[in-house]
Amino acid sequence: MNWLRQKPSPSPVPKPASVTLLPAVDEVAPVTEAAEMDATAGLRTTAAGQLSDPEGSGPAMTGPVTVKSPRDDLVIWAASLDRQSDPRLIAIKRELHQQVISTLDISGVGKWSPEQLRLEVRRQTEVICRERKDLLSTAEREQIIDDVMDETFGLGPLEALRRDPNVTDILVNGPKTVYAERNGRLIRTPIKFQDEKHLLQIVQRIANEVGRRIDETSPMLDARLADGSRLNAVIAPLALDGALISIRRFGSVPLTIDRLLKNQSMTREMVDFLDICVKARMNMIVSGGTGSGKTTLLNCLTGFIPEDERVATIEDAAELRLQQPHVVRMETRPANIEGKGEITTRDLVRNALRMRPDRIIIGECRGAEALDMLQAMNTGHDGSLTTIHANSTRDAVSRLEMLVGMAGFDLPIWIIRKQIASAVQIVLQVSRLMGGVRRVTKISEITGMEGDVVSMQDLFEFKQTGIDENGVAKGYFAATGVRPFYSDRIETSGFSLPGELFEKRVLLRCEGRLTP
């Protein structure tokens, strides 16, 4: 879960001769010639109103300039994808794809390794391309070859988006509508599929590769791609206007705590506190909305777990990338075509208790497994972690109560709350704010019960004060001045908490999105 996106370094971007760009999600200011020149030259405006080389190799230049906004970057980037909409190249690509498939030796395909099959398809494509007279340039031939390879082995037109490390979400609303989130901003791209049949072929190929199925009797698919991306697809009869695809991408290199600090997602004081909490085996819940970065933060927190511990992870789609040497990874399984063989998160949690784990990490708690998770936390598996969908740390506790109630046992609410107060110590809230920036907006502590109510106190928080000229949220991190209730437990575990760590003060001011 790459949820903190680093803005790409300025790079030369060729301006297409003719661009027909589909409407964006919101109003897009036209890109001026000066802005495109600045993007091409890799220049940026300093606080003094001068243009400076970001590498520091050239002198500053003065004069009136048009400052390039993040939205202008998106327009230029989307324009660079417009070549895929050329009807002539689309027709050639479709014809070549059929020719390549027909020329393959089907009897020998089963004997080839995936690498050999790729080499053979590329060789056949190159041979056919050289024989065609309607491909006027070497660049066109190379582009057609790459597109045919994408059609045969990848996601077809979506491969251009999947190769971009700054694209974090790919959203397909039928064959003619493709959106992408890049650097926290959503834009409609000019990428299209040939028709609904073409789109369905891509979806079904993905399902076959991961051992799942999607058809009219089972029209929904959750899958994990080879690069770790998470895919959800819905087809007819549930999808009324064409197949729907949502792809959540994760970086090839997992985000680290240092990157979170660099992107101002939290402060050093917050990191130091969480480091001590994980090592002192405090049970923790990461709360947040969809796309807020819960899994990414959870993955970063696991980096504090000592290497001599046995950790069991349980996920619907394996996304966590723990670096410890002793990790047991498990993934749920849906029912087969006969409706049998389903393995749920709750089944895996129960099984994990028999595997002698020091900690249990559940990728997301969304059902009856909440009860088994609380029992595990209360029976010797201290230091366990999970995520939950909620809008605040206090809402996370209420939602946990509801999930425990789904377990099928008629437990009084006071018993459920007592279990939560005993099992969970720390709740973190992650939020996706205006402009796509992610922040740890609150770190709260469960201190016990006051009557029939779970008592909590906030230790750190992020206060939003507004948005900047680019529509990005700005604000500040602050310590609330409250010392943790579990200070004694942490200190008896061999860790010290400096008193000044929690002094009431502003820790860091965040003015919009950082430029790398």
**Domain positions in the chain:** 83-248, 257-510
Q: What architecture (CATH level 2) is domain 257-510?
A: 3-Layer(aba) Sandwich (3.40)
Mean pLDDT throughout 377-388? 90
* DSSP per-residue codes, 125-166: HHHHHHH-SS--SHHHHHHHHHHHHHHHHS-GGGHHHHT-TT
pLDDT at 39: 37
pLDDT at 36: 36
Sheet bearing 505-510, strands edge to edge? 327-331, 311-315, 359-362, 385-389, 284-288, 426-432, 438-450, 453-467, 473-479, 505-510
For residues 302 and 115, give the distance between their C-alpha atoms in angstroms, rounded to a whole number: 34
Q: Tens of pLDDT along 80-119?
A: 666 555 666 667 766 776 666 666 655 555 556 667 666 7
Q: How confident is the model at residue 3 (pLDDT cuts 50, 70, 90)?
A: very low
* Residue 158 near residue 171, CB atoms below 8 Å: no
Q: Do domains 83-248 and 257-510 have the same CATH topology?
A: no
* Residue 5 near residue 514, CB atoms below 8 Å: no
Mean pLDDT throughout 122-131? 73
pLDDT at 229: 83
* Residue 296 near residue 4, CB atoms below 8 Å: yes
**373-379: long-range contacts, CB 8 A cutoff, minimum separation 24:** 373/349, 374/400, 374/404, 374/419, 374/420, 374/423, 374/424, 375/419, 376/349, 376/352, 377/283, 377/423, 377/424, 378/419, 378/422, 378/423, 379/353
- Asked if the model's pLDDT at residue 35 lies above 80, the reply is no
- Strand 220-224 and strand 327-331: pairing? unpaired
Sign of CA dihedral 347, 310, 265, 77: negative
pTM value is: 0.72
| Contacts of 281 by beta carbon, 8 Å cutoff, 6+ apart | 359, 382, 383, 493
* Residue 229 near residue 252, CB atoms below 8 Å: no
pLDDT over 70, % of the chain = 74
HSE-up (13 A, CA, CB side) for residue 203: 31
- 209 sits in which H/E element: helix 196-209
| Contacts of 411 by beta carbon, 8 Å cutoff, 6+ apart | 404, 405
Q: Tens of pLDDT along 393-421?
A: 999 999 999 999 888 888 889 999 999 99
Q: Tens of pLDDT along 200-213?
A: 988 888 888 777 78
Q: How confident is the model at residue 217 (pLDDT cuts 50, 70, 90)?
A: confident
Q: Tens of pLDDT along 272-327?
A: 999 999 999 999 999 999 888 898 899 999 999 999 999 999 988 778 888 889 99
Q: Tens of pLDDT along 364-377?
A: 888 888 998 898 89
The three-point CA angle 235-240-242 to 5° equals 55
Instruction: Please report, for residues 306, 310, 316, 361, 476, the alpha-carbon distance to residue 358 in angstroms, rounded to integers and kept in the order given.
Output: 11, 5, 21, 10, 37
Q: How confident is the model at residue 355 (pLDDT cuts 50, 70, 90)?
A: very high
For residues 75 and 28, give the distance between their C-alpha atoms in angstroms, rounded to a whole number: 8
- Asked if the model's pLDDT at residue 59 lies above 80, the reply is no
Q: If DSSP codes are grouped into helix, strand and coil, which group holds residue 504?
A: coil
Mean pLDDT throughout 264-269? 93
Q: What is the CA radius of gyration of the chain?
A: 26
Bridge partners (DSSP) of residue 6 are none
User: By CB neighbour count within 10 A (0-12 exposed, 13-18 middle, 19+ buried), where does 170 fall?
Assistant: buried
Our measurement of the distance from residue 91's CA atom to the centroid of its chain's CA atoms, rounded to an integer in Å, reads 34
pLDDT at 319: 80
Candidates 3.40.710.10, 3.30.450.380, 3.30.70.100, 3.40.50.300; CATH matching 83-248: 3.30.450.380
For 384-437, strand residue ranges (E) read 385-389, 426-432
466: left (phi over 0), alpha (psi -120 to 50) or beta: left
Most confident of 51-65, 154-168, 379-393: 379-393
How many other CB atoms are there within 10 angstroms of residue 209's CB atom? 12
Cα torsion 194, 199, 204, 210 to 10°: value is 110
Cα torsion 25, 30, 35, 39 to 10°: value is 40
* Assigned token pair, 451: 């009557």
